[in-house]
Structure 1
Amino acid sequence: MKRIVVATDFSERSDRAIRRATLLARTFDAKVILIHVVDDDQPQHLIRSTEHATKSLLEEQVASLREIDGLDCEFRVAFGDPFEKITQLAREEEADLLVVGPHRRQILKDVFVGTTAERTIRTSDRPVLMTNAVPAGAYRRILIATDLSDCSGSALRSAVELDLVSKSEVSVLYVFDAPATGLMNRASLSEDQIQDYMHNEEQRASLDLLAFLVEHDLRSAPCILKPAMSSVEDVILSAARDISAEAIVIGSHGETGFAKTLLGSVAEKLLRIADRDILVVPPQRRE
Structure 2
Amino acid sequence: MHKILYATDLSERTEAAAQRSVELARRHSAELRAVHVIEADLEEETLRLLFREQGAGAQQATRELEQAGEARMTEQLTAIAGDGAAPSWTVGCRWGRGASEIAAEARDWGADLVAIGAHGRRVVRDLFLGATAERLTHELSAPILVVKRPPRGAYQRVLVAVDGSPRSRRAVEMAARLAPDARLHLLSVHDTTPLERIYGAGEGAAQELQAALQAGREQTAEELSRLVAELPMRDRIAHYEARSGNPATVIDQVAGEADIDLVAMGTRGLSRWQGALLGSVARRVAHESERDLLLTSGEG
What is the TM-score when the length of structure 1 is the normalising length? 0.83
Q: Quick one: which amino acid aligns to residue 182 of structure 2?
A: S
How far is the alpha carbon of 1:239 from its aligned partner? 0.8
Gaps of 5+ in 2: 52-57
How far is the alpha carbon of 1:170 from its aligned partner? 0.7
Work out the CA distance in 1 between the residues paired with 2:120 and 2:39: 19
Work out the CA distance in 2 between the residues paired with 1:204 and 1:252: 21
Note if contact 1:101-1:130 (Cα within 8 Å) is conserved in structure 2.
Answer: yes
Note if contact 1:145-1:236 (Cα within 8 Å) is conserved in structure 2.
Answer: yes
Note if contact 1:141-1:168 (Cα within 8 Å) is conserved in structure 2.
Answer: yes
How far is the alpha carbon of 1:196 from its aligned partner? 7.8
Note if contact 1:25-1:71 (Cα within 8 Å) is conserved in structure 2.
Answer: yes
The 10-residue stretch of structure 1 (267-276 or 96-105) with the greater mean CA deviation from structure 2: 96-105
| Structure 1 position 171 matched with structure 2 position 197 | no
Which residue, 174, 186, 208 being the options, matches 1:158?
174
Note if contact 1:66-1:73 (Cα within 8 Å) is conserved in structure 2.
Answer: no
Decide which structure has greater helix share. 2
How far is the alpha carbon of 1:86 from its aligned partner? 0.6
How far is the alpha carbon of 1:64 from its aligned partner? 3.8
Q: 2:244 corresponds to which residue?
A: 227
| Structure 1 position 248 matched with structure 2 position 256 | no
Q: Give SS of 1:263's match.
A: helix
Note if contact 1:40-1:79 (Cα within 8 Å) is conserved in structure 2.
Answer: yes
How far is the alpha carbon of 1:129 from its aligned partner? 0.3
Which residue, 69, 72, 75 being the options, matches 1:60?
75
Work out the CA distance in 1 between the residues paired with 2:196 and 2:95: 54
> Which aligned pairs between 1:1-287 and structure 2 lie closer than 5 A?
1-41=1-41, 45=58, 46-64=61-79, 68-69=83-84, 70-102=86-118, 106=122, 110-111=125-126, 112-160=128-176, 162-164=177-179, 166-177=180-191, 183=199, 187=203, 201-220=216-235, 221=237, 222-228=239-245, 231-256=246-271, 261-264=274-277, 265-285=280-300
How far is the alpha carbon of 1:65 from its aligned partner? 5.0
Q: Tell me how large the CA RMSD over aligned residues is.
A: 3.0
How far is the alpha carbon of 1:17 from its aligned partner? 0.5
Q: Quick one: which amino acid aligns to residue 88 of structure 2?
A: D
Work out the CA distance in 1 between the residues paired with 2:33 and 2:214: 49
1:281–1:55 CA distance, 2 compared to 1 (3 A): same
1:196–1:260 CA distance, 2 compared to 1 (3 A): closer
Q: Give SS of 2:17's match.
A: helix
Work out the CA distance in 2 between the residues paired with 1:97 and 1:76: 17
Work out the CA distance in 2 between the residues paired with 1:277 and 1:173: 17
Note if contact 2:145-2:295 (Cα within 8 Å) is conserved in structure 1.
Answer: yes
How far is the alpha carbon of 1:249 from its aligned partner? 0.3
Stretches (4+) displaced over 6 A: 193-197
1:98–1:110 CA distance, 2 compared to 1 (3 A): closer
Identity %: 26
Work out the CA distance in 2 between the residues paired with 1:106 and 1:223: 31
Q: Quick one: which amino acid aligns to residue 2 of structure 2?
A: K
Work out the CA distance in 1 between the residues paired with 2:108 and 2:170: 21
Q: Give SS of 1:262's match.
A: helix
Note if contact 2:19-2:80 (Cα within 8 Å) is conserved in structure 1.
Answer: no
How far is the alpha carbon of 1:174 from its aligned partner? 0.2
Work out the CA distance in 2 between the residues paired with 1:262 and 1:68: 44
Q: Quick one: which amino acid aligns to residue 187 of structure 2?
A: L
1:106–1:210 CA distance, 2 compared to 1 (3 A): closer
Note if contact 2:121-2:288 (Cα within 8 Å) is conserved in structure 1.
Answer: no
Work out the CA distance in 2 between the residues paired with 1:247 and 1:62: 23
1:87–1:180 CA distance, 2 compared to 1 (3 A): closer
How far is the alpha carbon of 1:157 from its aligned partner? 2.6
Q: Give SS of 1:167's match.
A: coil
Work out the CA distance in 2 between the residues paired with 1:104 and 1:84: 25
How far is the alpha carbon of 1:11 from its aligned partner? 0.9
The 10-residue stretch of structure 1 (43-52 or 79-88) with the greater mean CA deviation from structure 2: 43-52
What is the TM-score when the length of structure 2 is the normalising length? 0.80
How far is the alpha carbon of 1:53 from its aligned partner? 1.3
Number of positions where the alignment pairs a residue of Structure 1 with one of Structure 2: 277
